[in-house]
Structure 1
């Protein structure tokens, strides 16, 4: 009986430690592998583009179920295309790589679920500010708008190491809703991307 009682007490303490109180703040530096592509007009033949993304996310808890998630992240988007898709004489060995680097500021509602709140599902919007635009090193930033807006969403799982530190593994998606082309009434092109990330959660 004593063993059972101790086990129940320890389980209760563990469960409570893994849930967050109102006012808890989590700081999450993270890095991940991203894949992006362009959608819209005249994008047939374009391939996806792979890159690294990194940033710092903050989570402010209203209760043990809900928090607001925001922060700063650098997300490299764009697309790539084989030279032969543009001109057969260029050959498939030549690849043109469009790199659009954005500073993103996600603003997502974050729902924590599961008996120990290890899972989270987040959704919201992400404004993005263009920092870099080039094709194989040649600057083309002036052809693209400096701002984009995307719908953002994701799911994650938390691995608790201690009361104040955990590891987060998550997948995030971005679905652009604004045209990224500047001075273009004839064509609409939008960014779409997703990433798989790992981060360290510091709780305060």
Structure 2
């Protein structure tokens, strides 16, 4: 039993080798993630999420060993499902796709700087939009009435595992809240949560 415990501790410690970076270091991190999206009011009234797969790449520029600037390009699916709540019912469902540009400041912490947290803003460019009014017509295109740009705030937290000197894996959570309405004719703003897996390449 002791030998298994020692092996386990050694393995965990080997994954936690330092991620301390010098000023000017650049990292590229392709990611894939699972997302859940709501409109703020549909989240409050416990409607089911709109699930999706997030794809993209982040670029990280280190200002020093603790702070970095991160941006990238992400493909995201957002939207809302109908609400079936006792005091509020809404048969409207919406699905929107965006190419999103986040810009955040990252703080790297922990003894080996394996942890990181970020806060910032994002801008999304609409690529498609459709809605289901549950009137028997299914989903219909609503791109003409959907705002082509959404702006909002972003934050998240993550952890980097150093598998080998040249192979680092990152797992992180990302959250986004829109500040602009998705549709010109409705009140909804997006609330988006994702869990992501990435591979970190030092440039």
Q: Verify the 8 A CA contact 1:40 1:188 in the aligned structure 2.
A: no
TM-score (ref. length: structure 1): 0.79
* Counterpart for residue 65 of structure 2: 64
Q: Verify the 8 A CA contact 2:34 2:195 in the aligned structure 1.
A: yes
CA distance in 2, matches of 1:168, 1:73: 16
Q: 1:126 aligns with which of 122, 145, 154?
A: 122
Q: Quickly say closer, same or farther: Cα 1:151–1:27, change in 2 above 3 A.
A: same
Q: How many residues align?
A: 179
* Counterpart for residue 4 of structure 1: none
CA distance in 2, matches of 1:82, 1:175: 19
Q: Verify the 8 A CA contact 2:29 2:198 in the aligned structure 1.
A: yes
Ranges in structure 2 where 5+ consecutive residues have no aligned partner: 1-12, 132-137
* Counterpart for residue 27 of structure 1: 28
1:112 and 2:108 are equivalent in the alignment:
yes
Taking only aligned residues, the RMSD between alpha carbons, in angstroms, comes to 2.6
Deviations 1:112-154 (A, max 9, x none): 0001000000000001111110235531111110001110000
| Displacement after TM superposition at 1:97 (Å) | 4.8
* Counterpart for residue 190 of structure 1: 189
Deviations 1:80-105 (A, max 9, x none): 2279x567xxxxxxxx7521001110
Which structure has the bigger radius of gyration? 1
TM-score (ref. length: structure 2): 0.79
CA distance in 2, matches of 1:79, 1:170: 23
Q: Mapping of 1:36-185 within 5 angstroms?
A: 36-40=37-41, 46-81=47-82, 97-135=93-131, 137-182=139-184, 184=185
Ranges in structure 1 where 5+ consecutive residues have no aligned partner: 1-10, 88-95
Runs of 4 or more, structure 1, over 3 Å off, are: 43-47
